[in-house]
Structure 1
Amino acid sequence: MLKKLKLSLLLLCLPFAALAANFEVGNQYTVIDIEKSTTPQVTEYFSFYCPHCFKFEPVAHAIEENLPAGAVFIKNHVNFLGGVSPQTQSNLSLAYLVAKKHGQADTITDKIFKSIHVQRAPLTEIKDLKKLLDINGISSDTFDQDIASMPIIAAEQAMQDKQNKYSKLGALTGVPTFIVNDKYKINLNTIKSQEELDELVSFLLAL
């Protein structure tokens, strides 16, 4: 009986062991020299002004949909892209956070990306963002109240703090960048398929 139990446990471990053998530190992922998060999570660092981030949206959605139970997906908008002022980029972060507060993060994210990259409307003014959210169910009054509220201001500052931390560590040199458990950066240029990416995410979450 004990021998059968040991064999069963071994068989359960085999798929994970085989998978783990396919992923190597320094190849598919890089270890960031900090303590990992207590909550299993995948953070995407992105910019609405980044065309690659726009094209990567289906990939990001797939990662979120395929996460193991208990893991969370976090979008962290950055404000360091050249050609646009940091404040203008932070305004987009604020708009995203307001939308997230009202359960419309995905909808507003899609609208902002399409406005910038499809309709060629750059949304450089706060009034443009206010109008976009108003059209999509978040009133101008609500928008004004929310972006002046401490929770939204603090959340946007937290986004900046995280981007600055990982930039200093050399882990955030461009977008999109995916970091798992605050400790493992995925090297996207080594990944050949969505399936491989999802497997790597699950592997890193379990480390």
Structure 2
Amino acid sequence: MIARRGLLLALLAAVAAPALGQGSFPARFLPGEHYRALDERAPTAAGDSVEVVEFFLYSCPHCRAFEPAFEAWAAEPPAGTTVRRVPVTFGGPGPIYARLFYTAERLGVLDELHGEVFAAIHEDGRRLTNRAAIRAFFVEHGVEGEAFDAAFDSDEVAERVERADALMRAYGVMSVPSLGVNGRYWISGPMAGGQERMLGVAEYLIAQERTAR
């Protein structure tokens, strides 16, 4: 695990260095250039940990492309870091994809279905944009139809979608994939200089937050 994380960090550094220049690590990432500092702090749910939020949309091809790198990074994040995904509610099907995400989370099948949803949309051409299509997809993957109905229609899932929308607005999310760091910073691919470079900027900001504590 340590070796894999070391390789990942080395790759991130190699990708970032040509665009950001040489010199000390802190000087590479600047507010307003590589990330945006929030005027007001967004809510977090990580307690004493530094929280990193990935904002994504299932129908976004860039989110699909970013997923392998983010999944590898999230499996072994920096010490003292909590990572979570938050679906955005813009982009037409955003609200129903968010409901899909939180339904899977409530049913305890998110880990196995998250990648499958991306594959179904982007590789199989399925349009999971209505209740019937989503229900059929869950049933195909071993979820009882009645269990799906109870979760999909629950107040809990509706409230989670509302909280996701509120958090997206608090961070001022304008594009996906993007990252929020500890309620204080927002990182987009164009600002960071590329999708995978977002992870390098996130690690820099995580270190800043830990030092500040």
- Preserved contact between residue 92 and residue 129 of structure 1 (Cα < 8 Å): no
SS of structure 1 residue aligned to 2:104: helix
Aligned length: 181
Distance 1:198 1:127, change over 3 A: same
Deviations 1:118-148 (A, max 9, x none): 1111112211111111121221111111122
Distance 1:45 1:121 in 2: 22
Distance 1:193 1:146 in 2: 33
SS of structure 1 residue aligned to 2:86: strand
Following superposition, the deviation at residue 96 of structure 1 comes to 1.1
- What does residue 102 of structure 1 align with? 107
- What does residue 187 of structure 2 align with? 186
Deviations 1:70-110 (A, max 9, x none): 322121111211xx3xxx43222122112122332232121
Larger C-alpha radius of gyration, 1 or 2? Answer: 1
Query: Any gaps of 5 or more consecutive residues in structure 1?
Result: 1-16
Distance 2:55 2:103 in 1: 18
- What does residue 61 of structure 2 align with? 51
What is the one-letter code of the residue matched to 2:170? K
Following superposition, the deviation at residue 67 of structure 1 comes to 1.1
Q: Structure 1 vs Structure 2: percent identity of aligned residues?
A: 23
- Preserved contact between residue 188 and residue 195 of structure 2 (Cα < 8 Å): no
What is the one-letter code of the residue matched to 2:184? K
SS of structure 1 residue aligned to 2:52: strand
- What does residue 134 of structure 2 align with? 129
- What does residue 147 of structure 1 align with? 152
Following superposition, the deviation at residue 197 of structure 1 comes to 4.4
Distance 1:66 1:22, change over 3 A: farther
SS of structure 2 residue aligned to 1:45: strand
Q: TM-score, normalised by structure 2?
A: 0.75
Distance 1:40 1:137 in 2: 35
Pick the aligned partner of 2:162 from 157, 160, 183. 157
Pick the aligned partner of 1:28 from 18, 25, 34. 34
Distance 1:64 1:185, change over 3 A: same
Residue 80 (str. 1) matches residue 80 (str. 2): no
Q: TM-score, normalised by structure 1?
A: 0.77
Aligned CA RMSD, in angstroms, stands at: 2.3
- Preserved contact between residue 107 and residue 151 of structure 2 (Cα < 8 Å): no
Residue 120 (str. 1) matches residue 130 (str. 2): no
Query: Any gaps of 5 or more consecutive residues in structure 2?
Result: 1-22, 209-213
